[in-house]
Amino acid sequence: MADIFELFKKIAQKPALESGAPEVLVVGLGNPGQEYAFTRHNAGFLALDAFAEKHGVELKQLKFKALTAPLTVNGKRVLLMKPQTYMNASGEAVREAADFYKIPPERIIVISDDVAQEPGRMRIRRSGSDGGQKGLRSIIEHLGSEAFPRIRIGVGAKPHPEYEMADWVLSRIPEADLKKLSPIFACVAEAIPLLAAGRVDDAMSRFNGVKFDGSEPN
């Protein structure tokens, strides 16, 4: 009888997410491997790790070709994902999870780097093209849809036209830019619950246009 009571106790202590399937996917884009950890292309990974740390979870379960962690955010069951397929094939992981849980594109939140914005800025969009970001391109191709919300984190443009884009996005983020990204990651953490609740316009109104210079917001 004691064993039965102990079993009930363990069940009661399980995270709320286990009582049902995820309703929302939150996907950070990047490349696996320590050599890429602090490169511009890994801004999505870094932001998602910061969000996970804030909520006391760690993305360590390998599932759907991604490191994942379940989480409940304001009553919404969420699956955090860091695809391990490398950036250009990110859509494979997203499609597998979306198909398995029957999650439509509008409930898939993607966080990526953006060379069109300077460090210290972010932009939220309800949908749209990939803008040259190959992880977003892969997701669009695999989902067959552009209609998923995305958070794009500024990492700065390449210094001159002849500079190879691949070399730029795979280069390490300078310390000065990391100081500007840190408060942006905090904004991302605040935006995710709004997007998960479907409040895309609220998130855009609040965070589009925000700018940090490394110390205080303008």
Tokens read off for 30:
């990047």
Catalytic pick among 41, 55, 142, 160: 41
HEC secondary structure over the chain: CHHHHHHHHHHHCCCHHHHCCCCEEEEECCCCCHHHCCEHHHHHHHHHHHHHHHCCCCCCEEECCEEEEEEEECCEEEEEEEECCCHHHHHHHHHHHHHHHCCCHHHEEEEEEECCCCCCEEEEECCCCCCCCHHHHHHHHHHCCCCCCEEEEECCCCCCCCCCHHHHHCCECCHHHHHHHHHHHHHHHHHHHHHHCCCHHHHHHHHCCCEECCCCEC
Reply yes or no on whether 41 is catalytic.
yes
Q: Which residues does the annotation mark as catalytic?
A: 41
